[in-house]
Structure 1
Amino acid sequence: MVVGLASSATVVVVATILGSLCFIALSEDDQLEDLRFVRRAQDAPLVSSYNYIVIGGGTAGCPLAATLSEHSRVLLLERGGLPYRNMSNQQHFTDALADTSPSSPAQRFISEDGVVNARARVLGGGSCLNAGFYTRASNDYVQMAGWDPRLVNSSYRWVERARWCSGRCSGPDVPPWQAALRDALLEAGVTPDNGFTFDHVTGTKIGGTIFDGAGERHTAADFLRHARPGGLTVLLYATVSRVLFRRQDGVPYPVAYGVVFTDPLGVQHRVYLRDGAKNEVILSAGTLGSPQLLMLSGVGPQAHLEAHGVQALVDQPMVGQGVADNPMNSVFIPSPVPVALSLVQVVGITKMGSFIEGVSGSEFGIPVSDGARRFARSFGMFSPQTGQLGTLPPRQRTPEAMQRAAEAMRRLDRRAFRGGFILEKILGPVSSGHIELRSADPRANPAVTFNYFKEEEDLERCVHGIQTIEKVIQSRAFANFTYANASVESIFTDSANFPVNLLPRHINDSRTPEQYCKDTVMTIWHYHGGCQVGAVVDDDYRVFGVQRLRVIDSSTFKYSPGTNPQATVMMLGSCESSYPCRYMGVKIQAERWKK
């Protein structure tokens, strides 16, 4: 889940409070009283100036802003607010995703493919909403991206030394359901056994997590505790409408010189870059936000911009292109025994490029906490990640149809949801689509088309993943968590005894693996692209055709790194002043001090 989040009079106060922002029980007013460099947008001056303006306080934006604040004045603009208490614990994992209110930290959108999805709207971004899995990109990915392997590895190491990773970086405790999944994957031939590792390598492994031993979430916002308090200002509920450009004598391209943002009261504010050729605007607004803001600022396909009343400053047809989402398909495995709550810990990486993971939750039969019950109910019935458990093909997932499906799930006995999901996503993917503006309103979601399984290679990998899941279900290692008299076919089709995995119905009643992949496709929130390196930005993430503007976030990726991209997005901007681990942050600062 990419589908990036945040946490004073003194450095001590800032470091102490920011270190645990996501799980303190204070109101937002109380938190803002203590966080002197974090305030609401309506409290900002109408005009201000900074060395760097970072748009988006997410998984990349938070560590990047902290890095740049060491020697410069930095403004971090976040359109959401502070994380609330229930987002901090893994037992409340689905609460934010199930929140459909206008102020939800997970802003829901439905792709043109018909798949329900969400984008972060909170300080800290996707790391406040995801399942917490932590893994590095593969060596092949680093080489393909053209990154410096030494700097990449040192940046990863610092991320793993950070406070939120303490206690889990040496290997999390593995509950019985996850242990059975690990052994079943090995029995199914997903080898070798790689044990606990952050590395993305073929075989079965236990990955890292941003949840600590008490189940508390530690997010990208924790990096703000490394900021220089006098060098950083964070504004919440600041909706950026456009980047400002001007022409300069002797400069062939338009030059970014500031941004315009609107506060919750509807008042417009202007922020300018201070004089100096090295000062920059940096977009870290995510896969949807960064290309959307480029287009709203006049950088994008000219005809499309003019159709929405936006004056085209630079005709850049590749803005918004190459957008992809790793498709996820899941199978619910009903269990004869209660199953403890667990999020993603074990992953099987097949040689063909299918990634197998699992989550579980206990709903009936043993005393469990209210949080675990809520997890099982929301994950089983209400969570957008299940796509209503595949009861509706994507094109048929209208709000009314999904409501009927949800009501049908609510009527089922709770014991029907006792068990866990085994899910698979695919490498890449190869299939891609595009983002377009729906309107010139920066608060509105753009229209996004992912073109799931458009390329045959993606469909083949999905089928291989589903077949691997079938082997796991049939394995001896997983026998304690499956019904002895239930065949794999019955788990998919026997609606009387196993009503959760209801397959979509077709006129020809087609049940091929390929059709199953297409009909039950969901998101795993790892969407990326839209401002890809080589198409929209150069190797240093500078936007082609303009000056003093970069994009640093998942929109620059051609493929999703590793089994989960959050560690790699953090790596791009992370640093600590006493440790030479920075990647883009340190590169930008190095450029600043060059003669």
Structure 2
Amino acid sequence: MDSFDYVIVGAGSAGCVLANRLSADPKVRVLLIEDGGDNQHPFIKMAGGFVKIMGNPAYFRAYPSVQRPGMRKEMHAYGRGLGGSSAINGTWYLTGMPADYDSWADHGVTGWGWDEISRCFARFEDYRDPGAHPGRGRSGELQITPSDHKSPVFDALMSAFEHAGMPRVSDITAPGITGVGRSQYTVDRWGQRESSYEAFVKPVRGRANLTITTYTAVKRVLIADGRATGVVCERGGQDVTFAASGEVILAAGVYGSPQLLQLSGVGPGAALQELGLETLRDLPAVGQNLADHQKFGVSFDLHNHPGTNREFVGWRLYRNAMRYFLTRTGPLARVGMPLTGLIASRDGRADWPDFQVAAAPFAMRTVNEMAEKPGSPITDKPGLTFSGYHLRPRSRGSVKLTAPDHRTPPLVDAAIWSDPYDRDKALELFRLFRSIAAAPALAPFIGTERMPGPGVQDEAAVVTELAKMVEAGLHGTGTCSMGGDAATSVVDARCRVHGVDGLRVVDCSIIPAPVSGNTNGPAMAVAERAAELIRADARG
């Protein structure tokens, strides 16, 4: 049995940061365990190439989801392999707002305010755009670059967002702002994806005290006399055990970490007993408190401009692929919406916007079109799409174990619209999209609304159509939430599982309330802060 000071389960956004920071001490031995492979496929390194491997089980973990009446059918997918979701996501980078982290004190969590977290972002960021706000990091491991998209439609969209109340800003991650600016991506200055593995682990793989094992699935954490002592894994069809003389740290993600805790006997006791699992620590909050941003898009016909759809089909796709491999430039070097807007809803705060919006001269086929005729999601008709998230939902869902088996994914209930407040916010966001589309600057370009269509104006009818369009943003948080009360939380403010020594959780699952933006950056900042706490605790 191999023994390590720290056993880290999951090589995603958080796990890779932890592996780097903890192995920086040559006196400790660190093991990083990943269920998937090395994720060195060229379509991963090419940010725009991930659509070619979308859904491939070698790179994605699929989780079944509770289907709600009248709403679109969902199967949630997070990243698998070194880098986790940072290796297959849309590379959209945001930090969240100061009020997000300061509000964690309301959940009994101290030491995680913006003063601490902003320092963590600055430590790992490498963002060198001249318009960066003064707090940005310029010499960290993670390269971040802004959108370089240029077109008359882009300029018109910028003006339309300004018309809707979002002033133009030079850095969309600036603390406490309302505004619109160029989107920022975890793409390096040479046009390649910056996954957490590429940024934090690959450069230090030569450390003698860092061991990385792939294609190794953790079955459960070993717990004896109230202390985590190691993990049992499946590798190559055989069981293998790794001992932890110091700590086991779960960084398996918002779905994976609560699953592993429950498989290890840590979770809601009655539910574990129903599956024949021994309850070693009854923690009812494990798998509860799932919060996710609701997301949807609205597309319009695009006039007087070819848009970008044509760049991803036919001979142009082959030309752009060749351009990318030769120069690391072109449409495939970036992915997603080229501009990002942040704005407060009617009852929101200007310094804490709760709508994240974006737009691009690109369109996918509508939900109705895909249902009528499955196939490629890319339409051959030029379009313009607005996309957005409601950032502070009140609905709370769950991640439920359905079998005492690590290979059976848990059942996810995102619980979208379980609180009517979120449905009302979706309607408000939809109206915002329509108002932006009606801005004078877009008049030469905007055409007919594709779904639900200009004829759908009645509020009830709009809500019915929105239900078919809304989906989980895959920005989940909260399923192993931090807090001071073991009845309502899973870990304390130092990421330690209540009542189990030597066991921590460090990933988005410990975030007690949603953050204002995509979660890749916050996951890394959480790991950066957790590493500080872990090292401090090791020093006594």
The normalised TM-score by structure 1 is 0.74
- Equivalence for 2:230: 258
Matched residues, percent identical? Answer: 27
8 Å CA contact 1:53–1:74 kept in 2: the answer is yes
SS at match of 1:217: coil
Matched pairs, number: 470
1:195 to 2:156 alignment: no
Q: Which runs of 5+ in 2 are unaligned?
A: 68-72, 105-109, 127-138, 309-330, 346-353, 484-488
1:270 to 2:248 alignment: no
Q: State how far apart, in whole Å, the 1-side matches of 2:451 and 2:76 are.
A: 26
CA displacement, residues 307-357 of structure 1 (integer Å, 9 cap, x when unaligned): 112111111111110112211111122213212355233222221122212
1:154 to 2:119 alignment: yes
| Matching residue within 107, 118, 128 for 2:87 | 128
| Matching residue within 347, 351, 367 for 1:390 | 367
Structure 1 pair 468–178 and aligned structure 2 pair: CA distance change class (3 A):
same
Q: State how far apart, in whole Å, the 2-side matches of 1:180 and 1:563 are.
A: 24
8 Å CA contact 2:63–2:412 kept in 1: the answer is no
- Equivalence for 1:548: 502
Deviation of 1:98 after TM superposition, in Å, equals 4.0
CA displacement, residues 350-381 of structure 1 (integer Å, 9 cap, x when unaligned): 211222123444xxxxxxxxxxxxxx7xxx35
Q: State how far apart, in whole Å, the 1-side matches of 2:143 and 2:530 are.
A: 24
- Equivalence for 1:372: none
| Matching residue within 577, 580, 586 for 2:532 | 586
Deviation of 1:267 after TM superposition, in Å, equals 0.4
Deviation of 1:74 after TM superposition, in Å, equals 0.4
- Equivalence for 1:371: none
Structure 1 pair 78–350 and aligned structure 2 pair: CA distance change class (3 A):
same
- Equivalence for 2:520: 566
Deviation of 1:120 after TM superposition, in Å, equals 1.2
Structure 1 pair 163–157 and aligned structure 2 pair: CA distance change class (3 A):
closer
8 Å CA contact 1:59–1:125 kept in 2: the answer is yes
| Matching residue within 422, 436, 441 for 2:405 | 441
- Equivalence for 1:33: none
- Of 50-59 and 86-95, the range deviating more from structure 2: 86-95
- Equivalence for 1:231: 209
8 Å CA contact 1:533–1:556 kept in 2: the answer is yes
SS at match of 2:424: helix
Q: State how far apart, in whole Å, the 1-side matches of 2:393 and 2:167 are.
A: 24
8 Å CA contact 1:65–1:227 kept in 2: the answer is no
- Equivalence for 1:519: 468
8 Å CA contact 1:354–1:462 kept in 2: the answer is no
CA displacement, residues 90-110 of structure 1 (integer Å, 9 cap, x when unaligned): 3213223243xxx33112333
Q: State how far apart, in whole Å, the 1-side matches of 2:206 and 2:142 are.
A: 22
1:290 to 2:260 alignment: no
SS at match of 1:444: coil
- Equivalence for 1:42: none
CA displacement, residues 430-478 of structure 1 (integer Å, 9 cap, x when unaligned): 1011111121121221001111011122122211111111012111222
- Equivalence for 2:453: 493
- Equivalence for 1:464: 428
Moved over 4 A (4+): 162-167
Deviation of 1:238 after TM superposition, in Å, equals 0.7
Deviation of 1:519 after TM superposition, in Å, equals 2.2
Deviation of 1:479 after TM superposition, in Å, equals 3.0
Q: Which runs of 5+ in 1 are unaligned?
A: 1-46, 248-253, 362-375, 382-388, 393-401, 496-502, 504-508, 575-582
8 Å CA contact 1:108–1:119 kept in 2: the answer is yes
Deviation of 1:208 after TM superposition, in Å, equals 2.0
Structure 1 pair 109–172 and aligned structure 2 pair: CA distance change class (3 A):
same
- Equivalence for 1:339: 307
Deviation of 1:212 after TM superposition, in Å, equals 3.1
SS at match of 1:421: strand
Return the letter of the residue paired with 2:537.
E
CA RMSD for the aligned pairs?
A: 2.4
Return the letter of the residue paired with 2:3.
S
CA displacement, residues 249-306 of structure 1 (integer Å, 9 cap, x when unaligned): xxxxx1111100001x2100011122xxxx1100000011000000000001112111
